[in-house]
A and B are shown apart, each in its own frame.
Chain A
Amino acid sequence: MFATISRRGVLTGTAALLASTALPRLALAQGGGRLIVAADSEPRQLNPAIVASNGVFFISSKVIEPLAEASYDAGGLKPLLATGWEGSEDGLSITFALREGVSWHDGTPFTSADVAFSAMEVWKPLQNIGRSLFANLETVETPDPLTAIFRFSKPTPLQLIANALPVVSSVLPKHVYEGSDIAENPANRALIGTGPFKWGDYRPGEYYLLTRNDSYWGEGLPHLDDIVFRVLPDRAAAASSLEAGEVHLAAFSSVPLADLDRIAKVPGLSVVTRGYEALTYQLTVEINHRTGILSDLKVRQAIAHAIDKDFVLDTIFLGYAEKATGPVPANDPTFYTPDVTTYPFDIAAAKDLLDEAGYREGPGGTRFSLRLLPAPYFAETRQFGDYLRQALAAIGIDAQIVPHDAAGHIKAVYTDHAFDLAIAPTVFRADPAISTTILVRSGQPDGVPFSNQGGYANPDLDALIDEALVTLDPGKRVALYKDFQRMVTADLPLINVADWSFTSVVADSVTGVATNPRWVVSNWAETGLSE
């Protein structure tokens, strides 16, 4: 008796559920459409002018625009709020021509005063990247509402500033922020920008809603009615939401690599690897040069020879990565050079190097022990930690994995320096001077994450980095950074293992995908939904 009642109950319940499921699905398929995107985290604050990070850009870049966006076209940049930029002969000023007819979401016109305010009050004093990039920025002059002239105290290469524009130049409305505590302004949570989408709503733990900006400056743009970022912290949940058609897009490899093959076979879904070229991550072994053994170049070379990059690409990245030759990823169109010292997988050579360095095999075949700290924030860095432990064991180095959670790892490596080897996901952002040279330049104060905290100091390399920073001629600059790659690979302050690209899983109904090398963190004005 019990069984029949419950079965009937379940059946009627199911019918009601089916009826109510049909409605939202139909709504999804209509019109300009609502794009639903999986978001795996909720940034603490969303102001991209203060926090220039991919997690923030992912959401905020649709609302607040930079002066220029990265592009696949020659020159690598597409004008957004700036229509042109020109550097002076002496490298002491850069003049930006600004777009006409742009207004903020609250209706106020966009002018050069907004650019000057953002640069002097936000990018230079507050922004994680701008604080060093704009350290020499002295003033921004605004001769007219559509011209902003940046004046620097030292020669500053236009190439560097231009390459950095998509990341560092998010413009804030002066009239909203002026005279307030910028870091705590309420507009950091309900963004006001010039972008194709306006801030709609935020339900913590659930979703962000962005709605179409009907008075966007781009002709006929944007295509979408609105964008919803659904907060889905569990990676398996993101994958099943895609399969169930509840989400159109999951970016930043939020679908685990192991699931990609299966997902790619689901009708209506595709795996896309383009759209991340300007934010390529590298799998990097950070080395603590304070550890006596590791200050010996032969030991570092031995470690480099012990890593089988083919195995790493096939087993850990399942093919979604390339071998790294040095600190600039191969997909960078400007600075990369393959002409560097390479370290082929060769266990015998590695053992010989260690013998030469005087670290002979002790009892049990072990030469010495090291602490190995894989960054916990990516599955790939953790897995590579397990691999590296085995690879080093094969040449007689006993690497002990020291596990930490994210905050603990940051403190252990970048503040306490309690590591010998660490595994980091370093980021190359279109120009080596933005976030790459800091990984090897000496003189970084303690406690700066993603910088040289390994105590490496090479005066020649420092001199080269400093020279490139004030070299105005683009050709010479590129040549210097090619030397930089040669020097880094020869002396191995760190070991670059793989250039690793993120993947997106996208529903086939989404149009305008991966249209630029920062697509995921760009404004999505040209993205749409087809029937």
Chain B
Amino acid sequence: MARLGRVVLVRLAGSLPVLLIVLVGVFVLLDSAGGDAVDAYLLSMGGGDAQMAAELRARYGLDGSVLNRLLFTLGQYARGDLGWSIALNRPIGPVIAERLPNTLWLMGSATALSFLLGSALGVLAGRRPGSVLDRVLSGGSLFLYSIPSFWLGLVLAVVFAVQLRWLPVSGIETIASGKAGLARAADIARHLVLPVAALGMIYLALFLRIMRSGMAEAWGQDFTLAARARGLPDWRITLNHAARNALLPLVTMLGLQSAAMLGGSVVIESVFAIPGFGRLAQEAVAGRDAPLLLAVILTSALMVVIANLLVDLAYGWLDPRVGSGAGHD
């Protein structure tokens, strides 16, 4: 266990330089995109005079140089303070705490859906590579993969929420419903069905195809032949031998996808009006709110690091040949 803790620490420390580079890069990029938070604010106000703009810039520390502002922000982080959002006019910490769970629910469910359904269908398709079932599943998943997620989201909303009225169109829960406990959980689950489907369906294809090709490869290998020679039933060979071996690249993909999903959630969160992390990032860019955007990126980067750490740990569990002490990869 102590060893596991060390792996986690080493990994986090190793990601620090990357985080720093990302932060500085974002800061410089955002600064070089014309306009600042006060311009965005004046637009939302419908105008204001020059003195007012100058006062606002001074109030929010926007009159200093890029370097000063960057150092100030990094200094805040060193003290464990995420700073103050200009666009939202609130401290950033609570904002992140408010939005993160929604996105984690959305991403977690979508990842689980695409991983579980994708690998299950991949097993089905990979059982008899080249069969009709394989062709239908592979073709269908490719079709899904080629659909833009916002479009899929809109279509799902039109069909299931507008026409059939089975599910709510948007939001994370019923507004001011006063629900609590299980009733509230059910309400949130109902709201998550469409966005999770829209986000998960698209990544499903990736998992399906990797699983399928891994299985197709396994059939030609000696260990499946040996298993067959031992007289094992077909389903056991499929699940315990072929599928388990095909699982490793799938788990790698899972780690990589966690970053891609964060990107996908930006779109899905606006389509379904879910107050999540992706939308927060979008609001931060539109409002030229550098402190907020940096905090969002810092948190996302941390999430991706953690996801990949979990993937590495899962490796050791799935394949005993990979030691959990492999903290240097």
Q: What is A's interface to B at a CB cutoff of 8 Å?
A: 2, 14, 16-18, 20-21, 24, 36, 41, 43-45, 51-56, 128-129, 131-132, 189, 200-201, 203-207, 209, 228, 230-234, 236-237, 240-241, 243-246, 377, 404-412, 415-416, 427, 435, 445-451
Are the C-beta atoms of B154 and A240 separated by less than 8 Å? yes
Shortest beta-carbon contacts, A-B, top 8: A205-B275, A407-B35, A411-B35, A445-B50, A408-B34, A407-B40, A53-B46, A450-B47
Is residue B174 contacting chain A, with contact meaning CB distance below 8 A? yes
Question: Which of these binds chain A: B104-112, B165-173, B253-261, B295-303?
Answer: B165-173
On chain B, the residues within 8 Å of A448 by CB distance are: 47-50, 53
Q: Report which of A55, A201, A205, A410 forms a contact with B42, defined as CB distance below 8 A.
A: A410
On chain A, the residues within 8 Å of B46 by CB distance are: 52-55, 128, 427, 435, 450
Are the C-beta atoms of A233 and B45 separated by less than 8 Å? no
- Bound CA span A404–B174, Å: 36
Are the C-beta atoms of B49 and A445 separated by less than 8 Å? yes
Are the C-beta atoms of A241 and B40 separated by less than 8 Å? no
A409 CB, nearest partner CB in chain B, Å: 7
On chain A, the residues within 8 Å of B98 by CB distance are: 204-205
- Bound CA span A3–B170, Å: 29
Is residue B307 contacting chain A, with contact meaning CB distance below 8 A? no
Are the C-beta atoms of A230 and B175 separated by less than 8 Å? yes
Are the C-beta atoms of B40 and A128 separated by less than 8 Å? no
Mostly, the A contact residues are mixed
* 8 new A-B contacts at CB < 8 Å, known A17-B166, A233-B270: A54-B46, A131-B49, A205-B274, A230-B273, A232-B273, A234-B272, A237-B270, A405-B286
Q: Which residue of B lies closest to A239 (CB)?
A: B162
Are the C-beta atoms of B175 and A205 separated by less than 8 Å? no
On chain B, the residues within 8 Å of A450 by CB distance are: 46-47
Q: Report which of A128, A209, A231 forms a contact with B52, defined as CB distance below 8 A.
A: A128
- Bound CA span A240–B98, Å: 26
Q: Which residue of A lies closest to B168 (CB)?
A: A246
- Bound CA span A234–B278, Å: 14
Is residue B288 contacting chain A, with contact meaning CB distance below 8 A? yes
A332 CB, nearest partner CB in chain B, Å: 18
Q: Report which of A36, A132, A377 forms a contact with B49, defined as CB distance below 8 A.
A: A132
Tell whether A21 pairs with B35 under 8 Å between CB atoms, given A128-B47, A448-B47.
no
Q: What is B's interface to A at a CB cutoff of 8 Å?
A: 33-37, 39-50, 52-53, 87-90, 95, 98-99, 120, 124, 154, 157-158, 161-162, 165-172, 174-177, 186-187, 190, 193, 270-276, 279-280, 285-288
On chain A, the residues within 8 Å of B52 by CB distance are: 128, 131
Are the C-beta atoms of B36 and A205 separated by less than 8 Å? no
Q: Report which of A36, A189, A236, A416 forms a contact with B175, defined as CB distance below 8 A.
A: A36
Are the C-beta atoms of A2 and B40 separated by less than 8 Å? no
A185 CB, nearest partner CB in chain B, Å: 12
29 contacts between A and B (CB under 8 A): A2-B120, A20-B187, A21-B166, A44-B87, A56-B45, A128-B47, A131-B48, A131-B49, A132-B49, A189-B89, A204-B88, A204-B98, A205-B279, A233-B270, A237-B272, A240-B154, A240-B161, A246-B170, A405-B33, A406-B286, A407-B287, A408-B33, A408-B35, A415-B39, A446-B50, A447-B50, A450-B46, A450-B47, A451-B47
Q: Report which of B120, B169, B174, B193 forms a contact with A244, defined as CB distance below 8 A.
A: B169
A173 CB, nearest partner CB in chain B, Å: 21
- Bound CA span A153–B71, Å: 48
Tell whether A209 pairs with B47 under 8 Å between CB atoms, given A128-B52, A231-B275.
no
Q: Report which of B40, B171, B176 forms a contact with A209, defined as CB distance below 8 A.
A: B176
- Bound CA span A446–B49, Å: 9
Tell whether A206 pairs with B41 under 8 Å between CB atoms, given A2-B120, A234-B271.
no
Are the C-beta atoms of A44 and B154 separated by less than 8 Å? no
On chain A, the residues within 8 Å of B162 by CB distance are: 240, 243-244
- Bound CA span A406–B87, Å: 14
On chain B, the residues within 8 Å of A410 by CB distance are: 35, 39-40, 42-43
Are the C-beta atoms of B172 and A17 separated by less than 8 Å? no
Are the C-beta atoms of B190 and A20 separated by less than 8 Å? yes
On chain B, the residues within 8 Å of A231 by CB distance are: 273, 275
- Bound CA span A281–B316, Å: 64
Are the C-beta atoms of B166 and A18 separated by less than 8 Å? yes
A3 CB, nearest partner CB in chain B, Å: 10
- Bound CA span A240–B287, Å: 27
B195 CB, nearest partner CB in chain A, Å: 11
Tell whether A21 pairs with B168 under 8 Å between CB atoms, given A201-B176, A231-B273.
yes
- Bound CA span A312–B234, Å: 68
- Bound CA span A228–B174, Å: 11
- Bound CA span A209–B162, Å: 24
On chain A, the residues within 8 Å of B154 by CB distance are: 236, 240
- Bound CA span A320–B33, Å: 34
Are the C-beta atoms of A53 and B44 separated by less than 8 Å? yes
Q: Which residue of A lies closest to B173 (CB)?
A: A206
B209 CB, nearest partner CB in chain A, Å: 18
Are the C-beta atoms of B275 and A128 separated by less than 8 Å? no
On chain A, the residues within 8 Å of B90 by CB distance are: 204
Q: Report which of B170, B186, B273, B285 forms a contact with A20, defined as CB distance below 8 A.
A: B186
Tell whether A236 pairs with B271 under 8 Å between CB atoms, given A21-B166, A204-B88, A411-B39.
yes
- Bound CA span A53–B45, Å: 5
B251 CB, nearest partner CB in chain A, Å: 22
Are the C-beta atoms of A407 and B34 separated by less than 8 Å? yes
B6 CB, nearest partner CB in chain A, Å: 39
- Bound CA span A206–B90, Å: 16
Are the C-beta atoms of A44 and B47 separated by less than 8 Å? no
- Bound CA span A472–B115, Å: 74
- Bound CA span A17–B166, Å: 7
Tell whether A44 pairs with B89 under 8 Å between CB atoms, given A128-B48, A233-B273, A449-B48.
yes
On chain A, the residues within 8 Å of B158 by CB distance are: 240
- Bound CA span A241–B273, Å: 11
Q: Which residue of A lies closest to B271 (CB)?
A: A234
On chain A, the residues within 8 Å of B287 by CB distance are: 44, 407
Most B CB contacts (10 A, CB to CB) among A54, A245, A406 go to A406
On chain B, the residues within 8 Å of A243 by CB distance are: 162
Q: Which residue of A lies closest to B35 (CB)?
A: A407
On chain A, the residues within 8 Å of B47 by CB distance are: 128-129, 435, 448-451
On chain B, the residues within 8 Å of A411 by CB distance are: 34-36, 39
Q: Which residue of B lies closest to A51 (CB)?
A: B45
Most B CB contacts (10 A, CB to CB) among A52, A234, A411, A446 go to A234
Are the C-beta atoms of A237 and B288 separated by less than 8 Å? no
Q: Which residue of A lies closest to B55 (CB)?
A: A183
A322 CB, nearest partner CB in chain B, Å: 22
B295 CB, nearest partner CB in chain A, Å: 15
